[in-house]
Amino acid sequence: MPTTKKELDAAAAQEAEAEQENDPYVPVPLAGYDGVTKDVRALPAGRWRASAFRALNSGDMDAFMALVLHEDDVEVYEELDPDMDAIGRFAEAAARAGGEDLGKSGGPSRSGRSTRRR
């Protein structure tokens, strides 16, 4: 049985990952145009396909939401008719739910040494 915080966190992460393999969707709040907010099931951002990012980047929100929402929740999205700010908050919440930051890449870090030749 895990005893340290690190072991408990690792065990919780493994459990969450196992649950996600069975049901890849996570609940994410989506605010509608009229101020009503409902939870919808969405894929975490790490599981979004390239076509979903293309739709998002081109501004095709209906196609984007159809690709990332559970098929039963697409109708909820259409009923809520969210504005662009609400869709942005939804995308950020979906990224956080999957343990990622949207638009942030780890990338290589800068070297502490200067590369300039003298």
AA letter at 62: D
Write the CA distances from 16 to 38, 43, 49, 94, 106, integer angstroms.
Answer: 23, 14, 21, 15, 23
Residues of the chain with pLDDT under 50: 105-107
pLDDT of amino acid 52: 95
pLDDT of amino acid 67: 97
What is the SS3 assignment for 37? Answer: strand
| pTM of the complete model | 0.65
d(CA 41, CA 7): 29
- Tell me the per-residue pLDDT of 39-52, one tens digit each, with 9 for 90 and over: 999 999 889 999 99
